[in-house]
Structure 1
Amino acid sequence: MTTVLILDDEYLIANILSFALEDEGLLTVTAGSGKRALEILDREHPDLIITDFMMPGMTGIEFAEAVRAHPDHKNTPMILMSGAQAHLGATRPDLFAEVLDKPFRIETVIEKVKALLKLEN
């Protein structure tokens, strides 16, 4: 089954994304910190990662750099979702396949996820 790792320290946002993607037939795993998400990577082998920017311990960019440094996950597509810091992610196409602003439209997130996973809309 196709797995999406959702990294956001705001649990409500993580849960909204998780429920919406599960309704589309995807398996989701959530984490509230970059450290926890890095621990999940090798266990779950996600097909796609959605990360927030501002989180305790490390930013979304620091998390993405750690993922890219890992040989098994260096090509995993990532989406950065952020309010004020989205522009920082937009300057890093080496890290993020998509950068979305918060607040987001759930339909847009689903569309981008399906496109990156090459699933039918």
Structure 2
Amino acid sequence: MTTILIVDDEYLVADILAYALEDEGFMVVKASNGRKGLEILDRERPELVITDFMMPVMDGLEFAKAIRSRPQTAKLPIILMSGAQASIGRDSPELFEAVFDKPFALNEVIGKVKELITPHD
């Protein structure tokens, strides 16, 4: 089963996204900030990351740079979801495969996830 890591300090957003992705057959793990996300990354080996931008401890930009700096995760697809900072993500195509503004259309995010990874059991 394909694992997706969602990193967002807004639990409601993370939960809604997680439920929608689980309904599509994905396994979802969640973290509330980038530092916790890196810990989960090492343990769970997700095939895609969805991250918020504005978070405590380590923001989405720092988190994405940390993922890219590690040889084992350098090619991992990362989707950014952000309110005011989406333009920063769009200015960093080397970090993010896709950027969605909050509020986002759930079906568009799921469509992009499916495009970036092919589920396999």
The answer to whether the superposition gives a TM-score over 0.5 is: yes
Paired residue for 1:32? 32
Post-superposition offset of 1:76: 0.4
1:95 corresponds to 2:102? no
- Matched ranges for 1:48-63 at <5 A: 48-63=48-63
Write the distance in 1 (CA, Å) between the matches of 2:118 and 2:37: 23
Amino acid paired to 1:33: N
Write the distance in 1 (CA, Å) between the matches of 2:16 and 2:45: 22
Sequence identity percentage: 59
Paired residue for 1:75? 75
Post-superposition offset of 1:22: 0.2
Post-superposition offset of 1:27: 0.3
TM-score, with structure 2 as normaliser: 0.96
Write the distance in 2 (CA, Å) between the matches of 1:29 and 1:59: 18
Paired residue for 2:4? 4
Paired residue for 2:47? 47
TM-score, with structure 1 as normaliser: 0.96
- CA distances 1:99-121 after superposition (whole Å, capped 9, x unpaired): 000001111111010001135xx
Post-superposition offset of 1:59: 1.4
Deviation >4 Å, runs of 4+: none
The higher relative CO (CA closer than 8 Å, separation ≥ 6) is in 2
Q: Which runs of 5+ in 2 are unaligned?
A: none
Amino acid paired to 1:5: L
